[in-house]
Amino acid sequence: MKRGQISIAIVLLFLGMMIAMQVRATQQAQQNVPTARVQELTTRLKEVKEERDSLVIEVDDLRTKLNQVSAGGSANQAIRDELIKARMEAGVLPVKGKGVEVTMNDSPKELQPGEDPNLYILHEEDLLKVVNELRAGGAEAMSINGQRILATSEIRCAGNTILVNTKKVVPPITILATGNPDTLKSGLEIKGGIFEQLKYWGLVATVAKSDDITIPGFPGPVTFNYTSAVEDSGS
């Protein structure tokens, strides 16, 4: 009988210990959960405050710019400057600056019987080579006989005539280009370059530096029928 009582006492003691441990674990869990939650909310509150402060600064900046635009201030001037720059790059505004004036003409040579006259007159490929050389030399704006050269400009042959922007041009040809005069001139006159090739056939090709080159703007509309701007995903 005593052995049975001892066994029961041991079991009860073990159960009591298990229950006590379970109660303690439950109490600790109840205490830790609110603490962790409070820490999480505190961190999130700090982040929200930082986001709010950042937005307040951005709103103030936008309001300042809006007021400057309304009052014709520096922001408005910056917008106008950007617009002018964009129109200059598009080629629709007249521009001026340092550069070079290129003169080209057919050969003054009298043809001999049997000689091909096409060898001694200017062709569209001659103009293209000069234009490409000027571009390679850093030309910022160009015109051919008053026709502004854009990225979309055509220089092509149509029968016995040369078309630039669909307009007929005839020799003498004058090409104006703004840029570093020394670089542009040396690029055309380099040994073995385009001028040497033209003069080999007796064609006229001269270039003169100038501190006052004025180039007209493109007179027609610049349209894009199949092209549109890609929106900035970061904006």
Output the six-digit token pair for 77.
């001037």
- Compute the chain's Rg from CA coordinates: 40
Tell me: pLDDT of 82 over 80. no
Encode pLDDT of 61-72 as tens digits.
766 666 665 565
C-alpha 47/C-alpha 225 separation (Å) is 47
Q: Classify 207 as helix, strand or coil.
A: strand
C-alpha 143/C-alpha 177 separation (Å) is 7
pTM of the model: 0.65
Encode pLDDT of 6-44 as tens digits.
555 555 555 556 655 655 655 555 555 556 665 776 777
108 in Cβ contact with 202 (< 8 Å): yes
Tell me: pLDDT of 220 over 70. yes
Q: Classify 224 as helix, strand or coil.
A: coil
Tell me: pLDDT of 213 over 80. yes
Give the residue from 162, 121, 165, 158 showing the smallest Cα distance to 143. Answer: 165
Encode pLDDT of 121-157 as tens digits.
899 999 999 999 999 999 999 999 999 998 888 899 8
Alpha carbon separation from 25 to 34, 122, 139 (Å, rounded): 15, 99, 81
Tell me: pLDDT of 232 over 60. yes
Q: Classify 225 as helix, strand or coil.
A: coil
